[in-house]
Structure 1
Amino acid sequence: MLRKSTQDLKSPENKEEEEKGKKALNSYAYYSGMGFQMIAVIGIFAFIGYKIDNGRESSTPLFTAFMSLAGVCASMYLVIRSVKRNKN
């Protein structure tokens, strides 16, 4: 006697739901990774600005502020580019 595996016994609707669930999980992981990437880019830029301010012994952290803003711009550019590439 041949036994059918549980994969063969699933109805087409259940397979579609499972595929949707996997796609949603992959999408969630992808966008979560983008968030961590943004945090890393902004943090690196801010750290560079902090080191420049410490090296110059300035009383106001202008380079930290400027580099943090540049990090936000760079991370937004990376996110927009990544989302455009992912949609195509």
Structure 2
Amino acid sequence: MIHVTQFVYVRKGKEGIFHAFESQVLPLLERHNGKLLMRIRPGADQFIAGELDPPYEIHLVSFENEEGLLAYGNDEDRQKWLSLKDESVTSVIMVKE
């Protein structure tokens, strides 16, 4: 089992574009035996300390194996929507275990 946590940073004013991207690509997880375990949108007031700015969203997803994760990343239908991600996301910190 592969778990991926993503801390997603979104450009101000581009949240709607990000939501459009997510609505297209998150359903594709199942195609590759992936699951969305958590999607959290924390408020800045919930952070206690740290050097990083709070992310817009935190995602925890799982895949049965590395092949599923790679297939999801390369999915042709997902690739069609990457311009929305590029337009709306400033950065993503990804932790894989």
- Fold shared per TM-score above 0.5: no
TM-score w.r.t. the length of structure 2 is: 0.27
Higher-helix-fraction structure: 1
Higher-strand-fraction structure: 2
Kindly name which structure, 1 or 2, has the bigger radius of gyration based on alpha carbons. Answer: 1
Larger RCO, structures 1/2 (Cα 8 Å, 6+ apart): 2
TM-score w.r.t. the length of structure 1 is: 0.28
